[in-house]
Structure formats: structure tokens, C-alpha cells
């Protein structure tokens, strides 16, 4: 009793701290055009690889572009599109999972075999393959990520729906003549929503990692758009003379991903959502 209380207190603190960090990041993301000190894509070769200065707080990259500005704008891509991927794959997963779980029968069979098919491949490989077919570019990476991510949501929602379906209040709703859609809408969806916060925060971290990974490989964001993974890739050439070019975007990815993960862990403890 006391330990669980302590865990609750601790997770509460983590939740607050992580939320503050993330809200701060989201705010600077939105405000990037106003707070960035320089144009993130303005090339100025005379100023290349400059150390930190008043004009360029984090120095400049190999084309003389302001690193801080690029990181701030890069946050828009990473956080913005990770949110987009999260929401859209969650939407698809929620719909398909709920239908499969509730309907059962051949609908369930078809949808779940489809999920099995997607899950049979390692995630990254599948994304790489899809981007290979669709061609490099941010849009393609986002489509590929959505196509791959929804299966996990579908799976978990199907499982939840299956267990909820046996509950008495569902049976009661059925007996009292509610339509199938009404039952799904009124009784099932609200019940599967709480674990969402947990899954969402964890998923966000992975989406950011995946976008960055694709950009690092040159398949995602195309130059000159600043993006953290792409910045690490560009900085790679200068790791000997200017390691900070890789370090700054790398730290940003780490900060965001770790924060999302800690938040996810804390939320699951807080809400008692079982993840293992």
C-alpha cells in the first residue's frame, strides 16, 4: 500500500516534469519562426563552421547556416509529423481493431491476418521497403510509417474489445436493443480510451526516432529542410573537426524521445495500465 502510494507520488512528479518539458518544446516549435535568430536555410559560405557567437548561438554548419535556427525549425518537423503519424495511425488502428474485435468471424480473421502479415516483417525493414517503392521524401516516409504503425493499435484495441464484449453491461445493452454501432460508440470506445495516453506518449517517441532515422539515411526530409536526423547526417562529415554539428540535433532527439518514454512509463504506473 505504502510502496504503491510512493510510486504514485513519484510518477506524479515525473508526469509533471515531462509534461513541462514537452509543453515547452511544443511551444518553441510553434514559435520557431519568431524566436529563431536566423533564416535556417540561408547559405553563407563565408561563415561556415563558425563557433558559437552572439549572432549564431550554436555556431554554423558546413554551409554557414545557423545551427540553432535549424534545430528549432527541425523540431517542427519532428514533433509535428510525429503527432500526425500518431493520430492517424491511432485512428486507423482504433477503427479496424474495434470492428475486428466486436464483429468477430471472417471480418476479424481477414483483418487480423493482414496485421500478422505486416507484423511478420521487422518494422524498420518494412518502412525502408515502402519508402524504397514510394521514393524518398517526407510525405512518403509519413505514409510508410502510418501504414506500418496502425497494426499495433488495431491489435491492442481488438484485444480490449474482446474482453469488454463479455462484460455484463454490454450484454445488457444488447438485450435492451441497442444497435451494434451504438454499442461500439457508447460503451466500447470510451473504455478503450484510457490506455491511449500511455500508448500515445510511447508511440510518439518511436515516430520521432523513425522519422529521424529515415532522414539520416537520406530517405526522409530532403534538403534544405532542416530536420534532426538529416542534420546528424550532414554533420557526420565533420565529426572530427566539428562534432557539435552532430551532437546538438542528437541531444534534441534524445531529450524528446527519453521524455516521451518516461512520461509513458509514468502514466502507465499512474493509471495501472499493464504493458508487460
Residues binding other proteins (CB under 8 A): 41-43, 45-46, 48-49, 62-64, 119, 123-124, 136, 152, 155-156, 159, 202, 206, 209, 213, 216, 218, 222-224, 232, 236-241, 257, 275-276
Nearest CB to other proteins, comparing residues 99 and 213: 213
Q: Which residues are CB-neighbours of 53 under 8 A, at least 6 positions away?
A: 59
CB of 181 to other proteins, least distance (A): 27
Residue 154, burial from CB neighbour count under 10 angstroms (0-12, 13-18, 19+): buried
Cβ neighbours around 263 below 10 Å, total: 26
Q: Establish how many alpha carbons lie within 13 A of residue 260's alpha carbon, considering only the half-sphere containing its beta carbon.
A: 24
CB of 123 to other proteins, least distance (A): 8
CB of 15 to other proteins, least distance (A): 19
In angstroms, the CA 62 to CA 49 distance is: 5
CB of 175 to other proteins, least distance (A): 32
Nearest CB to other proteins, comparing residues 127 and 183: 127
In angstroms, the CA 64 to CA 214 distance is: 24
Nearest CB to other proteins, comparing residues 141 and 213: 213
Nearest CB to other proteins, comparing residues 183 and 205: 205
CB of 95 to other proteins, least distance (A): 18
Torsion over CA: 83, 84, 87, 92 (sign): negative
Amino acid at each position: 500500500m505504502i510502496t504503491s502510494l510512493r510510486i504514485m507520488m513519484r510518477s506524479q512528479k515525473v508526469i509533471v516534469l515531462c509534461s513541462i518539458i514537452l509543453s515547452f518544446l511544443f511551444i518553441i516549435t510553434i514559435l520557431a519562426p519568431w524566436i529563431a535568430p536566423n533564416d535556417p536555410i540561408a547559405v553563407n559560405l563565408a561563415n561556415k563552421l563558425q563557433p558559437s557567437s552572439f549572432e549564431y548561438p550554436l555556431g554554423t554548419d558546413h554551409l554557414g547556416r545557423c545551427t540553432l535556427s535549424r534545430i528549432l525549425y527541425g523540431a517542427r518537423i519532428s514533433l509535428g509529423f510525429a503527432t500526425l503519424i500518431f493520430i492517424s495511425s491511432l485512428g486507423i488502428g482504433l477503427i479496424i481493431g474495434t470492428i475486428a474485435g466486436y464483429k468477430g468471424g471472417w471480418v476479424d480473421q481477414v483483418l487480423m491476418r493482414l496485421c500478422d502479415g505486416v507484423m511478420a516483417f521487422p518494422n524498420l525493414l518494412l518502412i525502408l521497403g515502402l519508402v524504397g517503392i514510394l521514393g524518398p521524401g517526407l510525405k512518403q516516409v509519413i505514409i510508410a510509417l502510418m501504414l506500418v504503425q496502425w497494426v499495433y493499435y488495431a491489435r491492442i484495441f481488438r484485444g480490449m474489445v474482446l474482453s469488454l464484449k463479455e462484460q455484463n453491461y454490454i450484454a445488457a445493452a444488447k438485450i435492451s436493443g441497442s444497435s451494434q454501432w451504438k454499442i461500439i460508440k457508447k460503451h466500447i470506445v470510451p473504455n478503450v480510451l484510457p490506455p491511449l495516453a500511455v500508448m500515445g506518449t510511447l508511440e510518439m517517441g518511436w515516430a520521432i526516432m523513425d522519422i529521424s532515422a529515415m532522414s539520416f539515411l537520406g530517405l526522409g526530409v530532403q534538403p534544405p529542410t532542416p530536420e534532426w536526423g538529416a542534420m546528424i547526417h550532414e554533420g557526420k562529415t565533420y565529426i572530427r573537426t566539428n562534432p557539435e554539428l552532430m551532437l546538438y540535433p542528437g541531444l534534441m532527439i534524445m531529450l524528446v524521445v527519453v521524455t516521451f518514454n518516461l512520461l509513458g512509463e509514468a502514466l502507465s504506473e499512474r493509471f495501472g495500465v499493464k504493458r508487460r
